[in-house]
Amino acid sequence: MADHLMILAKEFSLAPAQVQAVIELLDAGNTIPFIARYRKEATGSLDDQVLRQLAERLEYLRNLDKRREEIVKALTEQGVLTDALLAQIAKAATLSELEDIYRPFRPRRRTRATIAKERGLEPLATWLLVQPTKGDPMAKAKEFISIEKDVPDAETALAGARDIIAEMVSDDAGLRKQLRELLTREAVVATKAAKDEDSVYSNYYDFREPVRSIAAHRILAINRGEREEFLKVSIEVSDERALQTVRRAFVRGNSPASAQVSEACDDAWSRLLFPSLEREIRNMLTDRANVSAIKVFSDNLHQLLMQPPIKGKVTLGVDPGFRTGCKLAVVDKNGKALDTGVGHFTLPGNEAGKAASARLIKGFVKKYGITAIAIGNGTASRESEQFIVSLLPELPGVAYIIVSEAGASVYSASKLAAEDFPDFDVTQRSAVSIARRMQDPLAELVKIEPKAIGVGQYQHDLKQNELTAALDGVVEQCVNQVGVEVSTASAALLSHVAGIGPALARNIVAYREENGIASRAALKKVPKLGPKAFEQCAGFLRVRDSRNPLDATAVHPESYDAAKAILASLGYDAKDVRGGIPDAMQRAKLYGLVKLAREADVGLPTLQDILSELTKPGRDPRDDLPKPVLRTDVLDMKDLKPGMELTGTVRNVIDFGAFVDIGVHQDGLVHISRMADRFIRHPSEVVKVGDVVKVWVVSVDEQKKRIALSMVKDKA
């Protein structure tokens, strides 16, 4: 079977030793975050993303081998396996190639060809395929006339023989590969209106684009339009080009027998090959769009989760509403719920409700020292924002931010939220969640199924298993990259730490509540947390108040002796670690990094990581990113004028642009053509979720609630 090691090394442009190390580490049960962070010497410092891609490709190759074995077994049982077939099977590099080889031998329902074979016409088909220069097909066919076998005349015999040949042509693996390549290279996706009715799919009512270049978001839009019966979709290609390819593979000369084979080839193309390949191309396009959309979703989710927290602020969370009012929740700077209430200030004319709400909010600010207000961006958000802004002149030092509510209702109604806040109703929980999203997006958003966060496109049309796996991988990567304070983390957050699942996370919380966790070593006492789990998770868990200052860093316990040796060589003491050692790296370079690594018995990558942690113990990588914008004023759509310059926050990045929050409740769209003064292939080359960007208003459509923006002044 295929040599996975060499295939992966070539595809990823890696040394075979690197790939071998990754395969061995994965097979030993190590997690991607652990391998990426703590096995850099073995892997050559491969990052999470490359490791995940490599692991996925390895799984594909292993599944390919498994399918190879199944096909070999099936062909052996049928008694048709030959050395030539075995060589073809061993050479197949994709599942589609493998299935093409197996296609002629796959059990199938009765077809026109099988019926013709039952009528004894296979010898006639074989004779025609030889394409003798002499001999009359009609005369030969008369030999197969049989009333008993339902072959009343020569023409019926020839038609049956052509059916057999057509199926043989359709099953030819080499021909199918050539035609698949032809369609991929030259075919066009064509769409027409399926009904005389305006819709969001009107752009596709008369649309054509080459298969090789059609964008992922258009494929997904077309698929949805077809599913909702607004579009008719087809794949178009030159029949003559395709027929030439088919005939070239089977027709020899210009004898009467060759004419019969040529007719069978034409039938094979129109009746068997094209419908089958059209489905394949449509599936291929959908798979391609699926991969692209999942990547966009994953990139956006990563940026959203890694948004810098707004720390140290007592926060008022506002879950906007009309009829039932706006639910309010005060949380302290650590996210603990302190108080709740309801404000009625969004319905017009309710002056008494607004006055009472103003008193309530002012009372909360004075009592708890609130300095930030987080407002959800759902229904009644606009009205809530206007009311809060009207109060700010009387609340010095207080600012607000609009927070995405995506998925908040999912969390609020979940079993987890009920366990967190058993005495709160669903909307009160949502208000707490909104406040916490501002304080620490990662810690709060991990409580929600990633798909519900809504930073992608056509997410419900994607392959849900692949989407879930990709997004779960992003969450795992972010949680482990930031690290988790084990003494305060929720079970939801802990469950995403390498080596810890939901059950073990609950065990950690239960043990912590009963005994406390004074050190990393104490984790070994948690029920079901064995040596392997400890190895995988320990480096990502922080114990700030531990007597061992290294427990508050990303230095793995397996490297504590090395860290102590490094400290001693540089003239420091362990107690110096608590506040950080700013000149640790500089002193190490003067000492000699190679010499220091040798003395500490670690590789250079591990030495660099240890020194980085000694410099800034437990550093949060999010602290280096631009902070979200807290506002003190508000705009209305009617205030916007073309050419106006604004500052906004990127909320979502999609294939054709980015949606930017400019403080008017309705996000504006920056089309990809207005994102840079140069050509870009994808918006992600320029912006990411959470970026604070300068934009100019291009146009405003109040009726359709659409705002067009530009990131290039000259294109506004």
Which domains are delineated in the chain? 4-105 (1.10.10.650), 112-300 (1.10.3500.10), 315-508 (3.30.420.140), 511-624 (1.10.150.310), 637-715 (2.40.50.140)
Q: Which residues contact 43 (CB under 8 A, 6 or more apart)?
A: 18, 21, 22, 25, 35, 36, 51
Q: Which residues contact 313 (CB under 8 A, 6 or more apart)?
A: 333, 371, 372, 438, 439
Instruction: Supply the pLDDT for residue 526.
Output: 97
DSSP helix/strand/coil, 194: coil
Q: Give me 148's structure tokens.
A: 């008993």
Q: Which residues contact 647 (CB under 8 A, 6 or more apart)?
A: 629, 662, 692, 693, 694, 695
Ramachandran angles phi, psi of 360, nearest 5°:
-65, -50
CB contact at 8 A, 184 and 211: yes
| CA 340/CA 364 separation, integer angstroms | 9
| CA 712/CA 693 separation, integer angstroms | 11
Burial class (CB in 10 A: 0-12, 13-18, 19+), 577: buried
Buried b (16+ CB within 10 A) or exposed e, 321-337: beeebbbbbbbbeebeb
Burial class (CB in 10 A: 0-12, 13-18, 19+), 182: middle
HSE-CB of 19 using CA atoms within 13 angstroms:
18
Q: Give me 51's structure tokens.
A: 């490791």
Burial class (CB in 10 A: 0-12, 13-18, 19+), 56: middle
Could you give the dihedral angle defined by the CA atoms of residues 425, 428, 433 and 438, in that order, rounded to the nearest 10 degrees?
180
Q: 42-47 long-range contacts, Cβ below 8 Å, gap at least 24? A: 42/18, 43/18, 44/14, 44/15, 44/18, 45/605, 46/14, 46/18, 46/22
Q: How far is CA 37 from CA 30, 553, 606, in A?
A: 11, 13, 9
CB contact at 8 A, 378 and 372: no
A 10 A CB-CB count for 280 gives 17
| CA 461/CA 284 separation, integer angstroms | 15
Mean pLDDT by 10 residues, the chain (716 residues): 83 95 96 96 94 95 95 95 94 92 89 96 97 93 95 97 97 95 97 92 95 93 95 96 96 94 97 97 95 89 88 93 92 93 92 95 96 89 88 92 81 81 84 92 87 75 87 92 92 95 95 95 96 97 94 96 95 90 94 95 96 91 76 74 87 90 84 92 89 90 88 85
Instruction: Supply the pLDDT for residue 415.
Output: 83
DSSP helix/strand/coil, 335: coil
Closest-CA residue to 329 (of 440, 432, 444, 434)? 432
| CA 686/CA 700 separation, integer angstroms | 24
CB contact at 8 A, 306 and 440: no
Q: Is the dihedral of CA 234, 239, 245, 249 positive or negative?
A: positive
Q: Give me 193's structure tokens.
A: 């209106």
| CA 568/CA 141 separation, integer angstroms | 96
Instruction: Supply the pLDDT for residue 1.
Output: 37
DSSP helix/strand/coil, 670: strand
Q: Give me 303's structure tokens.
A: 């940026």
pTM for the predicted model, two decimal places: 0.81
